[in-house]
Amino acid sequence: MSNRPLNVGLVGGGKGAFIVNPHQKAIHFDGTRRVVAGALFPDPKIALEEAANWPYPIRGYGSYDEMIAANKSLPDAEKLDYILIVTPNFVHFDPAMKAMKAGIAVICEKPLCLNLREANELVKTARKLNVPFGVAHTYLGHWTSRFSRYVVQSGLLGEVRWVDSYYLQGWLATKLEATGQQQATWRVDPKRAGGSGCGGDIGTHALMQLRYVTGLDVTEVSAQMETFVEGRQLDDHFTIYCKLSNGGKALVRASQICIGSKNDLGIVVAGTKGTLRWRQEEPESITICLPNQPDRVYWRGAVTGGDGFLPKELPADLMAEPTIPAGHPEAFHDAFARLHRGFEADVRKWKAGEKFNCDGGKYANVEDGWKGIAFIETCVKSAASGKWTKFPKL
Ligand SMILES: NC(=O)c1ccc[n+]([C@@H]2O[C@H](COP(=O)([O-])OP(=O)(O)OC[C@H]3O[C@@H](n4cnc5c(N)ncnc54)[C@H](O)[C@@H]3O)[C@@H](O)[C@H]2O)c1
């Protein structure tokens, strides 16, 4: 494959859609990827109108079936290299399967799909066809998440004893869905969202942050899934006590009824030697607390080794990640761009017939997506039975 920018096709994203917007900015971030096509809306006529009104020229399609089928006969310069699925959860499985079978790589929004049956199929197919598959867990893309992962997994905090991984919001504290608000209506509908509302929507981000930073898995859960807003079918408050694969414990909690909380995702990792704290609303630094010492604050772009806590040599690829200097703040869009950048590297290797990583280090992969769905299903079982429930094996 030439050095041309990678071609990306959008599934979803028309008419007031939310998450397509930061994604499409992130796709264009480096000049090495571009959006060239889209099946933007379920109604074919509106899908074509939306594509015609897109801020830059793209090929519009009436459906993702058409977009994927048309790809076969396009010249190489115009072929799709990956699709980005930004539809509600119930429209993740079908386009992802069809794209993989047509030889197109996939980045799918989280949660991966609706249930474990679909997740099993997606993992099986991605492995069998050896297609790059990313899941858009945004917050792994912060440089400080990568740095946190290095600090914890290199043992600088000792053995992990306890993790508090949380995501608190307040936007569903009232029955917003009754007003017809686009993003609220499908998120509270089990047919379109899946087995959990709040847990599926943002609890999966908190789980992924825990797994990404610590490298540990959840082995058993004791779940409370509550619905505070009257008449809502799915949980809007999600509190999960977890056993971890190293024998440690964790709380994975999420809420959408905490008025005043915006996107308060954060993580506290308490090890035998010290504690790490990070919050995505202030994503440019992490705090390390060591016994009987003043807290250390590490800022992206201003980290040097050999300071009495960090070793002299720090991982070259972590330190070399393209960033603007410290104090010019990075945030949400930069995190998305880092995911697409990591995915692009794998897609280019795949296209060149080389081995690609897809190991979850630069973006969440299909197995990570599977674990998100398995987590939800295990929590639903535990909440219903009131018992500790074991996490299934992949
Ligand atoms: N990674 C993150 O931080 C993050 C943040 C928000 C949402 N999400 C996820 O992104 C997905 C979309 O969420 P959103 O808030 O942007 O939803 P949204 O309702 O704003 O947008 C969904 C879009 O999909 C379109 N759509 C629905 N069915 C379709 C079909 N069959 N063909 C083509 N288009 C179709 C809708 O018309 C709309 O344009 C969800 O899975 C959600 O969980 C992730």
Q: How many A from CA of 186 to the centre of ligand 1? A: 9
d(CA 286, CA 215) in angstroms, rounded, equals 18
pTM across the whole model: 0.98
When pLDDT is cut at 50, 70 and 90, the band that residue 323 belongs to is confident
Over residues 199-238, the pLDDT tens digits come to 999 999 999 999 999 999 999 999 999 999 999 999 999 9
> What is the per-residue pLDDT for 308?
97
> What is the per-residue pLDDT for 357?
86
DSSP conformation letters of 177-216? GGGT-HHHHHHT-HHHH-S-SHIIIIIHHHHHHHHHHH--
d(CA 110, CA 19) in angstroms, rounded, equals 11
Q: What DSSP state is assigned to residue 305?
A: S
In the numeric block, the tokens 């499908």 are attached to 186
Q: Which residues of 14-43 are buried (b: 16+ CB within 10 A; e: fewer)?
A: beebebbebbbebbbbeebbebbbbbbbbe
Over residues 351-384, the pLDDT tens digits come to 999 999 889 999 999 999 999 999 999 999 999 9
Over residues 299-317, the pLDDT tens digits come to 999 999 999 999 999 999 9
User: Is residue 2 scored above 90 in pLDDT?
Assistant: no
> Both tokens of residue 49?
């109108």
When pLDDT is cut at 50, 70 and 90, the band that residue 318 belongs to is very high
Atom of ligand 1 nearest to the CA of 89: 41
- Strands (DSSP E) contained in 6-50 are 6-11, 33-39
d(CA 173, CA 155) in angstroms, rounded, equals 40
Q: How many A from CA of 119 to the centre of ligand 1? A: 18
Are the CB atoms for 212 and 369 separated by under 8 Å?
A: no
Q: How many A from CA of 23 to the centre of ligand 1? A: 11
Residue nearest to atom 4 of ligand 1 (CA): 19
User: Is residue 1 scored above 70 in pLDDT?
Assistant: no
Q: How many A from CA of 157 to the centre of ligand 1? A: 38
User: Is residue 269 scored above 80 in pLDDT?
Assistant: yes
Mean pLDDT to the nearest integer, 32-36 = 98
| Residues counted in the chain | 394
d(CA 155, CA 246) in angstroms, rounded, equals 13
Q: What's the mean pLDDT when you consider all of the chain? A: 97
Amino acid at residue number 64: Y
> What is the per-residue pLDDT for 10?
99
d(CA 290, CA 273) in angstroms, rounded, equals 7
User: Is residue 322 scored above 90 in pLDDT?
Assistant: no
d(CA 205, CA 266) in angstroms, rounded, equals 10
Residue nearest to atom 7 of ligand 1 (CA): 19
> What is the per-residue pLDDT for 280?
98
Q: Using alpha carbons, select from 131, 83, 140 the residue that is nearest to residue 107.
A: 83
Q: Which residues line ligand 1 at a C-beta cut-off of 6 Å? A: 11-15, 17-19, 39-42, 64, 86-89, 91, 109-110, 136, 138, 182-183, 201
Q: How many A from CA of 323 to the centre of ligand 1? A: 29
> What is the per-residue pLDDT for 88?
98
Q: What DSSP state is assigned to residue 352?
A: T
Amino acid at residue number 96: A
In the numeric block, the tokens 């035998």 are attached to 272
Q: 165 forms bridges with which residues in the sheet?
A: 252, 267
Q: Are strands 218-226 and 160-168 parallel, antiparallel or unpaired?
A: unpaired
Spatial neighbors of 224 by CB under 8 A, at least 6 apart, are 238, 239, 240, 383
Over residues 103-148, the pLDDT tens digits come to 999 999 999 999 999 999 999 999 999 999 999 999 999 999 999 9
In the numeric block, the tokens 């761009």 are attached to 337
Over residues 191-200, the pLDDT tens digits come to 999 999 999 9
3-state secondary structure of 270: strand
3-state secondary structure of 365: strand
> Both tokens of residue 91?
């429209």
Mutation test residue for ligand 1: of 87, 145, 171, the one with most atoms within 8 Å of CB:
87
